[in-house]
A and B are shown apart, each in its own frame.
Chain A
């Protein structure tokens, strides 16, 4: 008896590697492996951008950012100035259209409509609209605007604005929802009208979050190509006019030069890609910093 009791006490209570534990460990390893797998393309792309792009940009610095684009694409040498201006015009124009309208739309959804049928419909359709392919927006604006008024940076701005609108609405509504009701009630109790409460109390309280959401939308729009392909046309010289004549953009230049068989054109594509990625990463970074500050304050 005694002997067998000793045997029981001698059972090893340390976790044994049963097949169940092994399976769990293997699956956890797969999860880590999956994460490592998705970092590989990111690093590979960043590496290609830096190794190709920096060489091109630094060889003709700062001309690369200011010179005009060579008319003959096989000619080597710098020039993405007009494309940088075009990207800023299109993205800036889109921001001026989509951000105010998007914020107003979100104000309706969260402050007026709430759970009404119409608000629910708009909310759902905005979500659906986020998934509309950017090329469809491009062709839509081509049919609506470009066929009537010709190529211009504004056409590109319209197409980008269509893409940004649902993103701005979604981000803003989420931020407005975070504003506590007692702030609204306190302002109402002081006799403020509803529009004043919204504009002077609710909006300022949610502003950092809204700005961060809008910056993310702008970053996405700045990198878009397909909406611009049909609406801004092709130019190689500076065109500072928003409403007149063909323009160009960084993304359009990258697309055009990527399939070129000339080394000079490919080099310009890398330089333009580096410029565009730095621009979008910067916007995203600023958005993250603002969002983090905002979150910390709460």
Chain B
């Protein structure tokens, strides 16, 4: 019978393997730290030139060596807001449909459709948006603009539209892109509602919608907020689709959703090709700015979703 050596080499190999695994895990922290360090080290030129004006100036003019990031911050927030307004009701309704209404057999094709929407590359959404969707959207925009003409607030939100590419078009495309993300998270959160709570509502004579209002929504409220915020993070960081359909105007800060605009990631993608060093430094600063915003949004939303999921499972 062969003797098994329980000492020596295996311990070494074990320790080495453990070390490698720890190293691989630590890579996540390393990459995040390197992003912050490496990119802030390249911000020097633009901050020397602009100082704090970089964050407050509305003027972005590479030819005059002026770089103010404010219009792009506005574009990022505005398009993300439009995307959320369009996507959140639809995502929540689909998530409720999948979890509360659809039979298991029906659930499969629905999840499949959502999966397919999630895998379509963003550049393909952008291509479709700019070559197919923009033209009919412009006609719709013109109609809406004429319909609300003269009504105080609405006429400035749904203003004049010089072309099919605008904040609104970007918002529509972003909404399509974040819907599968919000829906799948919302499904996960809603699924943690205990069966007993749902049955309790039914036993009191509630209709399905009343059951959802009384049991499902209160139970998953926190998690749903987190899911929406995660969608917000995605919408703000989405680059290529927005770059293609947002219209690439410079320096627009307007509430007119039908006007062409620009967002932080979109301006980087569109202007990188012909940029000099100072211009590139300004865009790297923009990316770092975006990184910080999305990290904050993601930190908060992950924490909310995680806490809600754990509480949900704890109640089961």
Contact = CB atoms under 8 A, between A and B. Distances in A.
B210 A128 contact: no
A251 B128 contact: no
Contacts of A139: 39, 268, 283-284, 287
A281 B288 CA distance: 32
Contacts of B124: 45, 49, 223, 254, 273, 276-277
Interface string A223-247: 1111001100000000000000000
Q: Interface of chain A, helix or strand or loop or mixed? A: helix
Given A105-B21, A112-B21, A281-B119, A20 B207 contact: yes
B110 interface: yes
Interface residues of A, number: 88
Contact of B299 (A31, A41, A128): A128
Interface in B153-209: 176, 179-180, 207-209
B31 A129 contact: yes
Contact of A169 (B13, B28, B114, B119): B28
Interface residues of B, number: 88
Contact of A108 (B24, B121, B294): B24
B291 A132 contact: yes
Interface of B: 4, 6, 10-11, 13-14, 17-18, 20-29, 31-32, 34-35, 38-39, 41-42, 89-91, 93-94, 96-97, 101, 110, 113-117, 119-128, 130-132, 176, 179-180, 207-210, 212, 230, 233-234, 236-240, 243-244, 265, 268-269, 272, 283-284, 287-288, 290-291, 294-295, 297-299, 302, 306
Which of B26, B96, B131, B238 has its CB near the most chain A CB atoms (within 10 A)?
Answer: B131
A162 B127 CA distance: 25
Interface stretch (A64-72, A149-157, A179-187, A189-197): A189-197
A121 interface: yes
B90 A37 contact: yes
Contact of A107 (B21, B122, B268): B21
Contacts of A96: none
Given A135-B265, A194-B14, A281-B116, A276 B121 contact: yes
Given A48-B131, A108-B21, A133-B265, 6 more contacts: A31-B93, A33-B93, A135-B265, A166-B28, A224-B122, A269-B127
21 contacts: A20-B207, A34-B93, A42-B113, A45-B124, A101-B24, A109-B25, A128-B299, A129-B28, A131-B234, A131-B295, A139-B39, A139-B284, A140-B35, A143-B38, A219-B119, A223-B119, A226-B239, A226-B240, A251-B123, A251-B240, A284-B119
A298 B94 CA distance: 29
Contacts of A286: none
A266 interface: yes
Which of B26, B126, B239 has its CB near the most chain A CB atoms (within 10 A)?
Answer: B239
A105 B24 contact: yes
Contacts of B128: 44-45, 48-49
A39 interface: yes
B25 A122 contact: yes
Q: Interface of chain B, helix or strand or loop or mixed? A: helix
A20 B212 CA distance: 13
B94 A44 contact: no
A129 to B, nearest CB: 6
Given A31-B94, A122-B29, A193-B14, A133 B130 contact: no
Contacts of A254: 123-124, 127
Given A128-B302, A139-B287, A165-B28, A225 B237 contact: no
Nearest to A161: B31
Interface stretch (A5-13, A22-30, A54-62, A75-83): A22-30
Contacts of A107: 21, 24
Contacts of A289: none
Contact of B28 (A23, A111, A125): A125
B291 A277 contact: no
Contacts of B10: 193, 195-196
A150 B158 CA distance: 46
A137 B265 CA distance: 12
A144 B116 contact: no
A31 B291 contact: no
B172 to A, nearest CB: 9
B131 A220 contact: no
Which of B97, B238, B244 has its CB near the most chain A CB atoms (within 10 A)?
Answer: B97
Nearest to A216: B119
Which of A20, A144, A224, A255 has its CB near the most chain B CB atoms (within 10 A)?
Answer: A255
A259 B244 contact: yes
Contacts of B113: 35, 38-39, 42
For the complex of A and B, the 5 pairs showing the least CB-CB separation, nearest first, are A223-B121, A133-B237, A34-B93, A104-B24, A24-B207
B89 A229 contact: no
A198 B17 CA distance: 10
